[in-house]
């Protein structure tokens, strides 16, 4: 096991190591195929249902991979995280599993179900105003004052590698060659981990990122070749995907994506409805953007095999 304080770079070897680290703790989520969805889009779609993950989203993988590596001394000092909800719940759950405490900085407009989820896992919630305060500054201040370990939502190599275990599982579960993989993007931790796995295991598979229409910082950054911040944007139902700039560690990895698509709130709402009524799955808006892109025809699926990440179900 690598020590938590040792500097390292996220890698495919690290993704494999993360798979060993989280085994028996994270859920090995199913890869689901729906005949109704296949008929609707004219191709094979394999759905990775991370909405069924512990704490309701993929975030538990990275959080547990990071927190389970804390030293005995670090465990006594606890952890701090900032998140709109899914990373928050994942950190609280992982912290309780390993026997440490967690303080979570959450925006005041976080969905109630996510705030209650953090508290149910024993986490302490500190609210902030996402429009006038910096969650990063608050988190770093709390960590400094208490000597706690800051667990970042995406810009941490252990977190990236933990999320990459989804890519490993998909390749083990899929019974066909994957032509493309569609994944939502915000700070980029999930899709960065998946890119590490796909580059090593299935380099021919095109990885397509999807963002909310007005929160397209990754799309802008990929086009410019550098990290950019999107312009001031209206609200979105995709509360989990409101990061305004790609991560410093994730962006170089994610430059290998085939392209970045965007979806409107209306298209996302239709995907949430389709998932519930047709697939019998509860998927939150931020977790449904990849399905939204497929249903809206933003990604061509006819006569192809497409993996789609349903990243969360906390709605």
Catalytic residues: 59, 311
Which 3-state string (H, E, C) describes the chain?
Answer: CCCCCCCCCCCHHHHHHHHHHHCCCCCCCCEEECHHHHHHHCCEEEEEEHHHCHHHECHHHHHHHHHCCCCHHHHHHCEEEECCCHHHHHHHHHHHHHCCCEEEEEECCCCHHHHHHHHHCCCEEEEECCCCCCHHHHHHHHHHHHCCEECCCCCCHHHHHHHHHHHHHHHHHCCCCCCEEEEECCCCHHHHHHHHHHHHHCCCCEEEEEEECCCCHHHHHHHHCCCCCCCCCCCCCCHHHCCCCCCCCHHHHHCCCCEEEEECHHHHHHHHHHHHHCCCCCCCHHHCHHHHHHHCCCCCCCCCEEEEEECECCC
- The four Cα atoms 21, 22, 23, 26 give a dihedral, to 10 degrees, of 180
Strands of 44-49's sheet, edge to edge? 31-33, 44-49, 305-310, 180-184, 206-212, 259-263
């Amino acid at each position: 096991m690598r020590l938590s304080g040792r500097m390292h770079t996220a890698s495919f070897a690290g993704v494999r190591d993360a798979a060993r680290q989280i085994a028996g703790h994270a859920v090995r989520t199913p890869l689901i195929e729906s005949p109704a969805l296949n008929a609707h889009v004219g191709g094979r779609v394999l759905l990775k249902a991370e909405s069924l993950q512990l704490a309701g989203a993929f975030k538990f993988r990275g959080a547990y991979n990071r927190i389970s590596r804390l030293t005995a001394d670090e465990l006594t000092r606890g952890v701090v995280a900032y998140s709109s909800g899914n990373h928050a719940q994942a950190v609280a759950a992982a912290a309780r599993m390993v026997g440490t405490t967690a303080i979570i900085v959450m925006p005041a407009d976080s969905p109630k179900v996510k705030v209650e989820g953090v508290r149910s896992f024993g986490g302490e919630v500190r609210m902030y105003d996402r429009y006038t305060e910096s969650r990063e500054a608050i988190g770093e201040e709390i960590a400094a004052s208490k000597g706690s370990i800051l667990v970042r939502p995406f810009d941490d190599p252990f977190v990236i590698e933990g999320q990459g275990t989804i890519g490993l599982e998909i390749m083990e579960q899929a019974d066909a060659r994957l032509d493309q993989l569609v994944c939502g993007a915000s700070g980029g931790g999930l899709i960065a981990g998946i890119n590490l796995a796909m580059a090593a295991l299935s380099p021919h598979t095109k990885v397509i990122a999807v963002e909310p229409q007005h929160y397209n910082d990754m799309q802008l950054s990929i086009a410019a070749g550098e990290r950019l911040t999107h312009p001031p944007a209206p609200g979105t139902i995709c509360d989990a995907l409101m990061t305004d700039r790609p991560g410093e560690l994730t962006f170089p990895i994610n430059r290998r994506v085939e392209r970045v698509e965007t979806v409107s709130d209306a298209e996302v709402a239709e995907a949430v409805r389709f998932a519930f009524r047709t697939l019998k799955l509860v998927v939150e808006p931020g977790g449904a953007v990849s399905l939204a892109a497929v249903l809206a025809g933003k990604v061509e699926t006819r006569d192809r095999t497409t993996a789609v990440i349903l990243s969360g179900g906390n709605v």
